[in-house]
Amino acid sequence: MSNFTKNEFLHIFIIAIVLSFIFSFRSWGATTFDALIGVFNWLLFLFIAFLSLVIYESAHKIVAYHHNASSKMEIWFIKRLGFPPSSHSGRKTFFGLYFTIPKIPIGIILSLILIFVSNGKFIFASLHNTIISSKRDLRIKHKHLFLTNFEIATIALAGPIISLLVALIATNLGFPDIAKLNYFIAIFSMLPLHSLDGGKIFIGSRALYVFSIVFIIFSIILLQSLTLVSTILMALMIAIILVIIYYYKSE
């Protein structure tokens, strides 16, 4: 299994700083501003966020290891605008535009803008991107030398699922701050955007995407009235049923 690099830990720490800030935004005093309380809550969420992100990416690395692949978490950047033309598909550029730009940490920028504009009421938690790549020297005996889209999807799904499980267990044990942060990480990671885990899952398998997003959403809803085990089983049943319906509708 791949280890975390120093650069990866740096990215995770930066992401954790921003996440902890937005989650503690409304916790700087009950009625009036209190810097001491605010800093304490920020540091508390910083610890929670850093640990949660390490667990999140560890799940990626474990599943990637079994696919003879590697994964690496980094800040979510955008590096180009438009879509490149393709001579094979005949695809044109987006409004005739396609150019590279300096890397912009789009997730961090959006999360900070939205938290200030909404006065802490809207949390945007898509700050990271996971780079998944195959280890060609270890995949020689595989049918495919490079990772298939479905393999990438299964690796990507490990992150949101482990965050969901952490959130469910934390809710059951009475740790609301841990639960809240991990719920948001799980849900926002499933946004079907190309760079995010949700986009990788969506591209790899639409059925898997439907199953996983339904399972995550219903797990969060059902835990409000059911036990942990009952919640997981019921959410699995609902997800399976909806995937079957989706499959027959799409066919």
Q: Answer yes or no: is pLDDT of 243 > 80.
A: yes
Residues 197 and 190: beta-carbon distance below 8 Å: yes
pLDDT tens for residues 63-83? 998 888 889 999 998 876 554
pLDDT of residue 250: 78
Residues 182 and 170: beta-carbon distance below 8 Å: yes
* 90: region left, alpha or beta (phi > 0 left; psi from -120 to 50 alpha): left
pLDDT of residue 133: 86
Residues 136 and 61: beta-carbon distance below 8 Å: no
Return all residues near 187 (Cβ < 8 A) that are at least 6 apart: 125, 160, 216, 217, 220
pLDDT tens for residues 141-181? 666 667 889 999 999 999 999 999 999 999 999 999 999 99
Comparing 25-29, 207-211, 225-229, the range with the smallest average pLDDT is 25-29
pLDDT of residue 26: 82
pLDDT of residue 152: 93
Q: Answer yes or no: is pLDDT of 185 > 90.
A: yes
The predicted model gives 113-131 an average pLDDT of: 92
Reported as type and span, the H/E element at residue 104 is strand 98-104
pLDDT of residue 91: 43
Dihedral angle sign, alpha carbons of residues 170, 175, 180, 181: negative
Closest CA to 63 of 71, 53, 55: 71
Q: CA 43 to CA 64: how far, in whole Å?
A: 31
Return all residues near 73 (Cβ < 8 A) that are at least 6 apart: 8, 11, 12, 15, 53, 56, 57, 60, 128, 129, 130, 131
pTM: 0.85
Which residue did the predictor score with more confidence, 140 or 168?
A: 168
Listed by start position, the domains of the chain span 6-204
C-alpha 116: how far from chain center: 22
